[in-house]
Amino acid sequence: MLIAYLTAGAPDINTTKEAVMKLAKKGADVIEIGVPYSDALADGAILQKASKQALMNGFHLDHLWNLLSEVNEIEVPLVILAYYNQIWHYGVEKWVKKLVAHNVKGLIVPDLPYEESKTLRQICDRYGLNIIWLISPTTNKTRAQELARACKDWIYVISRTGVTGLETEFDKQIPKLIGELKKVTKAPIALGFGISKSEQVKLVKSWGADGVIIGSACMQILLEKGVDQLSEWISVMKKSFCP
């Protein structure tokens, strides 16, 4: 399973639309779309740059809803990443209903702890939207298992502490963590943060992961080389995971 990340509106919303359509054809199994945010604490330099560019170009939520309407017919599931402050200001139930109406399958909220998410969980359950929880190498075993059981779609395992980016060193506990999660859930496990090379994809697969999430590398290629180069590169990365 290859999950490709795009920042909505970077470098512009039309490019995002084109990228979604082409990645869906070139091997992405899931496309994660990040909502630009000026205070995205989990983002490294590349994704911060992408968010800043989108916001400077005048990105607002109407652009997101229009984008989702225009790519609604693709067969690849869409997941939205947004920070809770964005969701809260828009209105939690209104946000969830909007995503479901646009055929979005999952929601990632990186700054919302599970124990503070009761309202969001209840609303998502009501409308059939999956929340995808993040588990890191520093998450204690009991909490990691609780989060794994709460995931109804796939599980996002963070490869190391810190922010997103092209730093390639994975935490040494990752293989063990994947094994422990496999004991308590049948949900697919995808590893993200720092994945940009075919060799890494093959290594992650050898650890038992079911997928990889590629974000910073996707956006770097998109911003520097364009949609066609990104879609061809994704095709190569997909073959590394599913030869």
Distance set, CA 27 to CA 31, 55, 241 (Å): 10, 29, 11
Position 161 scores a pLDDT of 60
Burial of 210 (0-12, 13-18, 19+ CB in 10 A): middle
CB atoms within 10 A of CB 138: 11
Tens digits of residue pLDDT in 188-241: 999 998 899 999 999 999 999 999 999 999 999 999 999 999 999 999 999 988
Indicate the pLDDT class of residue 169, thresholds 50, 70 and 90: confident
The count of structural domains within the chain is 1
Active-site annotation holds for 32: yes
Partners of 30 in the beta sheet? 3
End-to-end CA distance of the chain: 12
Partners of 40 in the beta sheet? none
Tens digits of residue pLDDT in 113-153: 999 999 999 999 999 999 999 999 999 989 999 999 998 89
Q: Which domain holds residue 194?
A: 2-241
Position 165 scores a pLDDT of 42
3-state secondary structure of 115: helix
Q: How far apart are CA 121 and CA 167, in angstroms?
A: 32
Q: Residue 88: give its domain's CATH number.
A: 3.20.20.70
Q: How far apart are CA 198 and CA 235, in angstroms?
A: 11
Active-site annotation holds for 115: no
Which of 29, 32, 153, 171 is catalytic? The answer is 32
Which of 12, 18, 39, 43 is catalytic? The answer is 43
Q: Which two tokens stand for residue 234?
A: 């994704």
Position 243 scores a pLDDT of 66
Tens digits of residue pLDDT in 84-93: 999 999 999 9
Of the listed ranges 116-125, 152-161, 178-187, the least confidently predicted one is: 152-161
Nearest 5 degrees, angle CA 119-CA 120-CA 121? 90
Position 16 scores a pLDDT of 98
Mean pLDDT, rounded, of the chain:
92
Position 160 scores a pLDDT of 67
Tens digits of residue pLDDT in 8-66: 999 999 999 999 999 999 999 999 999 999 877 766 789 999 999 999 999 999 999 99
Q: Which residue bears the tokens 């091997």? A: 27
Does residue 163 carry a pLDDT above 50? no
